[in-house]
Amino acid sequence: MSGKPTGATPLLRIKGVQKSFGSTHVLRGIDLDVARGEVVTIIGPSGGGKTTLLRCVNFLETYDRGSITIDGAEVGYRDGEARKRRTETDLARMRAETGMVFQLFNLFPHLTAAQNITLGLTRVRGLGRAEAGDKAMHWLKRVGLADKAGHLPSELSGGQQQRVGIARAVAMEPKILLLDEITSALDPELIGEVLDVVLSLAADGMTMLIVTHEIGFARDASHRIVFMAEGTVGAEAPPAEIFSPNQPNERLRSFLGRFSAAHRL
């Protein structure tokens, strides 16, 4: 990817975010900005807090300190210092502005592929049935599954389910799309079809924050790569710098070293 988009203020701004589960300090003060139209990928060892950070951006997880803003609006809390939790209605409205795609797809098993997409469009966006249906078809076509509109998730392969998952998220026209290890649960031969969809969304200028173990994909798709380990940002740079043999960050080098040993990079 070339030509990092130039936005005046970042769309997503994460400042000093901290989070603990009991005595485990998962996020130890994270700072990260994502500009409009930018694709940022977070890599790093398992248990480093990547998924937790992503879930905080969608407020599926509360955070203890710091702030996360999308388009200037604080996620999850209001009243600045007072940190009052937003009301359910408020939270729902804000979550609708961020799309999320999950590792285990999380499609609604009782709804068809098309219904998975129209549920949010009718209930949250207030579209009519026909309009929502058209929109669902548009996105199913876009992910190459127009012929599966009436199928239940259990009738689809993992790769197909994940493409429906992506369609469900982007059909809501979110300001930013969050992808949480979306290929980790897939058989190797199904990964490509899902990543192709993500690449085409990036080409359209969709703002994305991605957590992935697909290092090669991270290099090809991102404007910027963030290396997270033990709850902190260890390095943050364009792919070329991250993968440079002169990369000064020792831990990042050894992390990437293990990958290049396993795969050809």
Binding track, positions 131-150, relative to another protein; x by CB under 8 A: --------------------
Instruction: By CB under 8 A, tell whether 22 contacts another protein.
Output: no
Q: Is 9 helix (H, G, I), strand (E, B) or coil?
A: coil
Here the tokens at position 237 are 């740079």
Instruction: By CB under 8 A, tell whether 106 contacts another protein.
Output: yes
Listed ranges 86-94, 200-208, 210-218, 246-254: which one lies at the site for another protein (CB under 8 A): 86-94
Among 2, 6, 46, 154, binds another protein (CB under 8 A): 154
Do residues 231 and 66 lie in contact, with contact meaning Cβ atoms separated by under 8 Å?
no
- Minimal distance, residue 250 CB to another protein, in Å: 35
For 110, what's the count of Cα atoms within 13 Å in the CB-facing half-sphere? 1
Instruction: By CB under 8 A, tell whether 123 contacts another protein.
Output: yes
Instruction: By CB under 8 A, tell whether 95 contacts another protein.
Output: yes
Among 20, 25, 45, 119, binds another protein (CB under 8 A): 119
In terms of CB distance, is 101 or 235 closer to another protein? 101
Among the listed residues 199, 142, 214, the one whose alpha carbon sits nearest the alpha carbon of residue 171: 142
CA angle (18 as vertex; 26, 95 as ends), nearest 5: 100
Instruction: By CB under 8 A, tell whether 185 contacts another protein.
Output: no
Terminal Cα-to-Cα distance of the chain (whole angstroms): 17
- Minimal distance, residue 38 CB to another protein, in Å: 20
Instruction: By CB under 8 A, tell whether 110 contacts another protein.
Output: yes
Helix (H) or strand (E) holding 219: helix 215-221
How crowded is residue 69: how many other Cβ atoms within 10 Å of its Cβ? 15
Do residues 154 and 162 lie in contact, with contact meaning Cβ atoms separated by under 8 Å?
no
In terms of CB distance, is 115 or 229 closer to another protein? 115
CA distance 152 to 167: 15
Listed ranges 28-36, 99-107, 189-197, 257-265: which one lies at the site for another protein (CB under 8 A): 99-107
Question: With CB under 8 A, what is the number of residues at the site for another protein?
Answer: 32
Helix (H) or strand (E) holding 108: none
Instruction: By CB under 8 A, tell whether 169 contacts another protein.
Output: yes
Among 24, 47, 92, 128, binds another protein (CB under 8 A): 92
What type of residue is 186?
A: L
What DSSP character marks residue 246? T
CA distance 161 to 101: 11
Here the tokens at position 216 are 């090669």
- Minimal distance, residue 111 CB to another protein, in Å: 8
In terms of CB distance, is 102 or 217 closer to another protein? 102
The site for another protein (CB under 8 A) is made up of 55, 58-60, 88-89, 91-100, 102, 104, 106-110, 119-120, 123-124, 152, 154, 168-169, 172
